[in-house]
Structure 1
Amino acid sequence: MSSTTTKLDEQEVQNAVQEMYDEVATCPNKEFHFPTGRNSCLNIGYPEEELNAIPASAIEPFAGVGYPFLAEVIKPGDTVVDIGSGSGVDVLIAGIKTGPEGEVIGIDITPAMIRKARENIEKAEVDHIRIIEGQAVDIPLDNASADVVTSNGVINLVPDKEKAFKEIHRILKLGGRIQISDIVLSKPVSEKSKSNAQLWAECIVGAEPVEVYLDLIRSAGFENVTVIDRLDYFDRSANESTRKAAKGLGAHTIVLTGQKA
């Protein structure tokens, strides 16, 4: 089953997403239709002590939608891959959890975010974290090379979610774990809205109904797929129309985990 529609221009979606998150990276103090920054981190569950342990410049452009580390699947020495690593918040936290004997690889498509993350890694003075350019549907890593894949508010921006989850499955070792925070819906979006690339970049219309989303993960070969948290991410949006649209579709965050079978 594929979540891609024939009317959707996937390159146009990617361009819109890159443009949106380039602006988040370069203008972190601007008010966006979705919550950003340190207050957003705290509101969705990041412990203050974890945020205090990483550079503030990583946190300012943060645009994640949940706290994937709630899954508690990262162990010292693990190789962790972050799909859509943004300004580096989650790779830096993952790097603390793996310790220097582990490895953390962030993957992103937005040049400004890649630069920002690399700067923040340098500020943190760690050498077991690196950022590479790549897409969720074509991850530039070897088969069975990761112990954990993490992602935060990214797969909802990917038109071909089926392919993205298959790629995540491919790069994980047997028994490898996922920890994902993402936006899902209580009811489907209209095909007209779903064909609008700009609306995809705004985090709602690219999302799938929750059961469709979970079925895509299971169909890719994951077992023990479990939702461990839900939250109303958009209730803190500064944009009234975004809050209204999210409420109308039942858009909300889930945090989940699962394992490669």
Structure 2
Amino acid sequence: MSTTTTQLDKQEVENAVQEMYDEVAACPNKEFHFPTGRNSCLHLGYPEEELNAIPASAVEPFAGVGYPFLAEVIQPGDTVVDIGSGSGVDALISGIKTGPEGQVIGIDITPAMIRKARKNIEKAGVDHIRIIEGQAVDIPLDDASADVVTSNGVINLVPDKEKAFKEIHRILKPEGYLQIADIVLSKPVSAESKADPQLWAECIVGAEPVEVYLDMIRSAGFENVTVIDRLDYFDRSSNESTRKAAKGLGAHTIVLTGRKA
């Protein structure tokens, strides 16, 4: 495949993802093929008291796939980077855990989500959280600038996952932590499905078999990579074809942690 074609395919995927999550931001009460909102948060393990502590307008368009804070690695005073910060749920919860002496930087590619997250941070009345535009494969932050990187249901949407994990490794301080909730598979996706940008945006075909995914993280330079939770995320989808496709590929959520050497 030529370089031009590869770049075009990646751009098509990015466009499809932006369109999907622009719609989630604009119409949070619409029924999507994946679970969203407060009920999804509670199902995934978010404590009710954490959700009650942040604006409801952040929770309504939530589209994460797990509860990455199970890793319990964020400490008061930490600098946390949230890759794919969406409407701001995980950035706001991270901000509670770091306290005002810490710093949280959310990064997203979707303009509508960025605007929504900034409004939610303003509603929350906090000044140690900020949202910037950027991509997982080209994070606009300095080397060794973060204590923790968190991400929720995002890396599966990135075509070049190896580069994303290398970027995450680059911005982490030595002995910094990674906490991720993401979709993985039990079996590989066909090349035909992989070539469909719309299917990427629907969170299944961009995912990798679990061992491939974990090996990418280790190859980027992380150690003690450990899966701490698994769950059937798509069993709550209202779309029968989505549930069927997920079951056929063994698509499920893992929550994991790792550490930069």
Q: State the Cα distance separating 1:8 from its structure 2 match.
A: 7.3
Corresponding residue for residue 255 of structure 1 = 255
Structure 2 SS opposite 1:244? helix
C-alpha separation in 2, matches of 1:253 and 1:6 = 28
RMSD: 1.0
- The 1:58–1:7 alpha-carbon spacing in structure 2 relative to 1, beyond 3 Å, is closer
Query: In the alignment, what sits opposite 1:42?
Result: 42
Q: For residue 153 of structure 1, what is the aligned residue in structure 2?
A: 153
Equivalent-residue separation in structure 1 for 2:69 and 2:244 (angstroms) = 29
Distance 2:216 2:28 in 1: 33
Q: Indicate whether 1:232 and 2:229 are aligned.
A: no
Alignment partner, residue 97 of structure 2: 97
Cα distance change on mapping 1:176 and 1:7 into 2, 3 Å? closer
User: Counterparts of 1:46 and 1:239 in 2: how far apart (Å)?
Assistant: 23
1:1-261 alignment, distance < 5 Å: 9-261=9-261
| Structure 2 residues without counterparts, runs of 5 or longer | none
On the 8 A contact 1:10/1:159 being kept in 2, the answer is: yes
SS in 2 for 1:174: strand
Give the distance between the partners of 2:7 and 2:247, measured in 1 at CA. Answer: 25
Contact 1:78 1:98 in 2 (8 A): yes
Aligned mates of 2:209, 2:221 — CA distance in 1: 19
CA displacement at 1:63 relative to structure 2 = 0.1
Distance between the aligned counterparts of 2:11 and 2:64, measured in 1? 22
TM-score by length of 2: 0.97
Distance in 1 between the 2:64 and 2:247 partners? 19
- Are residues 241 and 223 of structure 1, via their aligned partners in 2, closer, same or farther at CA, if it must alter by over 3 Å? same
- 1:106 Cα deviation (Å)? 0.0
Once residues 86 and 15 of structure 1 are traced to their aligned partners in structure 2, the CA distance between those partners, rounded to angstroms, is 16
Is contact 1:8–1:196 with CA below 8 Å preserved after alignment? no
Q: Structure 1 length normalisation: TM-score?
A: 0.97
Shift of 1:199: 0.3
CA deviation string 1:48-94 (max 9, x = no partner): 00000000000000000000000000000000000000000000000
List, as ranges, runs of 4+ consecutive aligned residues in structure 1 with deviation greater than 4 Å.
5-8
